[in-house]
Structure 1
Amino acid sequence: MFAGLWARNVAFEFRSATLAKLPRPGALRHLHQSISKPTPSRSHSPFKLLNLCNAKRAFASRTSVSPRLPFDPRFFSANAGQAQAVAAELPVLSPPPVGWWLLGSAGLVFGVIVVGGITRLTESGLSITEWKPITGVIPPLSQAQWEEEFEKYKATPEFKLLNHSITLEEFKSIFFWEWGHRVLGRVIGISFVIPLVYFALRKRLTATLPKHLTAMAFLIGAQGALGWYMVKSGLEDSLLEIPGAVPRVSQYRLAAHLGTAFVLYAGMFGTGMAAIMDWRYATKGWWAGLKEGAARWKDILENPAVRRFSRGVKGLTALVFITALSGAFVAGLDAGLLYNEFPLMGGSLAPPAEELFNPAYAKSPDHSDLWWRNLFENPTTVQFDHRCLAITTYAATALMYASTFHPALRAVLPPLTKRMATSAFAMANIQVLLGISTLLYLVPIPLAAAHQAGSVMLLTTMLHLLVSLRRPGTAARVWRQALQRKTSA
């Protein structure tokens, strides 16, 4: 009697513990039916009881599995053999956190571009005379340290020629702009490299991403070195020997520094948007705002009108990049302080030819370098070039936007593409207004900084427009096909 009660008590406790671990109602009913069948006898031999317990433990270990991930290979297979085959065939697809991390990194690069522009506008870039990648993170903390840093600045051409009457407190204000710009660059490096290592080790990156993102990481490091190379050009004592020289960084190095930042931003933003859109395509079948995009994207991209439109968008994106880069030469030469009127320059649409191609800028005895040196070193020519590029960019953006209303093209363009074409034209209007206002009001810092930020925003809309016309990645297409096969099975 006691043996029978004890056996039933053990069986009841084991059954309760097993049922609590079961993940699905179907499995719960199956287990309940398997262990609740009436037995011919109330007594159990020790061997039967042991076998019953072992069977229950084996069943519990099979049923108490962890929740399935959306892309768990078992989701696509009905048995273990098929699961292993599918897992071997399916490539890695980057999850949304990878895309959001890249977009966050792009946001930091956007911030450092804006801060860098303010640093240039406030003439703060030459306030720190040394490059200390590690210890430079900590600013001067004591009065003695501030005095020491100020003495280093007093030895620079900028102090001797322009800021010889600056006080320590005024020095601190320009110091912190340059210090903040440098520290933000270090933050970008850390916030990019650490997640990159994590995602790579956890195998969360699509096959082509590791080498591309590693190249971006090296570019971030090179950007720091390039920034110091740029600053160094404004600290050279040879500037003191040039009559009428203005201590400032080389416009060539400034353009290279800004251009590298644009490339980094474009790479991070474009790759992040592509990762997020690939995930949506693989899991939901959405593409460029079309919920039935999984079935239509190929036909849309092969349409001749869409292919022509896509080539035009690529050319316009390159034009936006070149126009923004020409702004670095305007900033480096303070060319925005000349001809503060629009659309005329000195009463005509263009300055006199002898001013645009001034022989004084040629350094070769035969003047063979006359044209290109004026393009990049003559402030008048640099401003005129930037105006021409800006007007051309605006006109091209307007034409691109107008083309989206052509019935044949509008009928096939995906919704996201049409929205981003509208956004690009709207941003082009804002950017033109900011540029003209900056010129007319003699380059005030708020307007000039907003104008530089506007160039990045216009580039952003063009990049988003390009991504909207991108075919889904290989990994996303493979996952989508696997999901469709599982759904139809």
Structure 2
Amino acid sequence: MPFDAPSRTPSRARAMPRAIALWLLAVAGMVWAMVAIGGATRLTGSGLSIMEWAPLSGALPPLSAAEWDRLYQLYRGIPQYALVNQGFGIEGFKQIFWLEWIHRFWGRLIGLAYALPLAWFWLRGRIPAGLKPRLLGLLVLGGLQGAVGWFMVASGFEADRTAVSPYRLVMHLGLALLLFAALTWTGLALLRPRPAVAEPAFGGLRRQVKAAAWLLVGAMLAGGFVAGNRAGLDYNTFPLMAGRLVPEGYWGLQPGWTNLTTNIATVQFNHRLLATLAGLAALGAAFAAWRRLPPGFARSACLGLGAAVLLQYGLGVATLLAMVPVWLGTLHQACAVLVLGMALLALNGLRGPERRH
């Protein structure tokens, strides 16, 4: 059952729901930045530059010429160097190394920003009743995300590979979105307890927003397969793909299910389709909120969702037509998290009163 803010009773007087909510939302913001940095890391081909997983010692960058040379020699042994970056020298290696190091260092900062306040709130007895299991679960999820990140990177060291596995990339992206959503939802539930009285207009609209939210998540994961297969470098026209609505060879691979994950024509078409359906659903919900809801948090959140979807769709088309420049691709990935955040705000604003059992 989703966590909701507890009622304020004397027995919970020492709890600090607002402070905990702001802390969780701040960590969610750090995860948002992490997704953007990860997008830039992938687009620049920097993700394979560090071939060691050293959670503690890796927090420090190379501090000597010998250490730089050692890491460079490791990198020269993987296919990406031989097939993509051969001969670019240690200065070229340093350029891709620093972005991946920042990506991992930011992940360590997120871990500290979560674990240290959690310990403080816990030891001082400031956590509301019923919230401790959720907070521990988020801690485990964050640790799992780090392990999956290395699992993804390690796939890029395999023979004849110059990038990571699309499957592992989508797994890593999906966990990041899940972590962001769980942090944001828990923080919002603490800041905005459920209303005491049901709003009749909320029921149907909440179902609309929920449908839009699931379509948005589907479009984001489909976008992960586009990124993993570098499918954005093909079919750089819109709305048609090589002059066709459904591209030729849409179901050309065998077995059939592999088209959904490795066929460039299929993964790009599916991303376009899901993004369009999600955009229409979100805009429909925003229009319904504008027509049916009085001014307030729920109405503003639904309108914000519609605006965020329009921005993201425009960025997606621009990224495709420009053949995925790094800055635009990174912005498109970062805006996807904004859209997810707006969907969560809208769902939070449309909640009904707590069910009594």
Pick the TM interval, shorter chain.
over 0.9
Given that 2:226 and 2:264 are in contact with CA atoms closer than 8 Å, whether structure 1 keeps it comes out as: yes
Q: By how many angstroms is 1:87 displaced?
A: 4.0
The CA deviation at 1:206 is 1.8
Matches within 5 A, 1:357-368: 357-359=251-253, 362=254
Match of 1:397 in 2: 282
1:383 aligns with 2:291: no
**CA offsets per residue over residues 91-128 of structure 1, 9 Å max, x none?**
76533211110011001101110000000000000001
Q: Partner of 2:235 in structure 1?
A: 339
Structure 2 residue corresponding to 1:325, chosen from 205, 221, 229: 221
Q: 2:54 aligns with which of 126, 132, 138?
A: 132
2:3 maps to: none
Aligned to 2:250: 356
Partner residue, 1:410: 293
Aligned match of 2:130 in 208, 213, 237? 208
> SS of the counterpart of 1:125?
coil
Q: Distance in 1 between matches of 2:290 and 2:150?
A: 48
* 4+ residue runs over 4 A deviation: 90-93, 471-474
Of the two structures, which has the highest relative contact order with CA contacts closer than 8 Å and spacing of 6 or more?
A: 2
Select 1:97's aligned residue among 16, 19, 44.
Answer: 19
- Alignment-mate amino acid for residue 410 of structure 1: L
Q: CA deviation at 1:166?
A: 1.3
Identity %: 40
Q: Deviation per CA, 1:142-162, whole angstroms, max 9, x where unpaired?
A: 111111110000001111111
Alignment of 1:69-108 (within 5 A): 87-88=10-11, 93-108=15-30
| Equivalent of residue 440 in structure 1, options 296, 321, 337 | 321
Distance in 1, Cα, partners of 2:147 & 2:10: 43
The answer on whether the counterparts of 1:92 and 1:203 sit within 8 Å (CA) in structure 2 is yes
| Corresponding residue of 2:175 | 260
In the aligned structure 1, how far is the partner of 2:88 from the partner of 2:308?
39
Kindly state the Cα deviation for residue 465 of structure 1 after the two structures are TM-superposed. 0.7
TM-score normalised by length of structure 1: 0.69
Look up the match of 1:430. 311
Q: Summarize the Cα distance change of 1:472–1:179 in structure 2 as closer, same or farther, 3 Å threshold.
A: farther
Q: CA deviation at 1:471?
A: 4.7
* Count of aligned residue pairs for this structure pair: 349
> Residue by residue, what CA displacement relative to the aligned partner does 1:411-445 show, whole Å, maximum 9, x if unpaired?
5xx61111011111111111111001100011001
User: In structure 2, what is the equivalent of residue 298 of structure 1?
Assistant: 197
Shift of 1:470: 2.7
| Residue equivalent to 2:5 | none
Shift, 1:458, TM fit: 0.6
For structure 1, the residue ranges without an aligned partner over 5 or more in a row are 1-72, 74-85, 240-245, 279-286, 288-293, 363-368, 478-489
Unpaired segments ≥5 residues, structure 2: 1-7
Letter in 2 for 1:299: A
- Counterpart CA distance in 1 for 2:186 and 2:169 is 26
Query: Does the 8 Å contact 1:343/1:349 carry over to 2?
Result: yes
Of the three residues 153, 161, 165, the one matched with 1:231 is 153
For 1:460, give the aligned amino acid. Answer: G
Offset, 1:205: 1.6
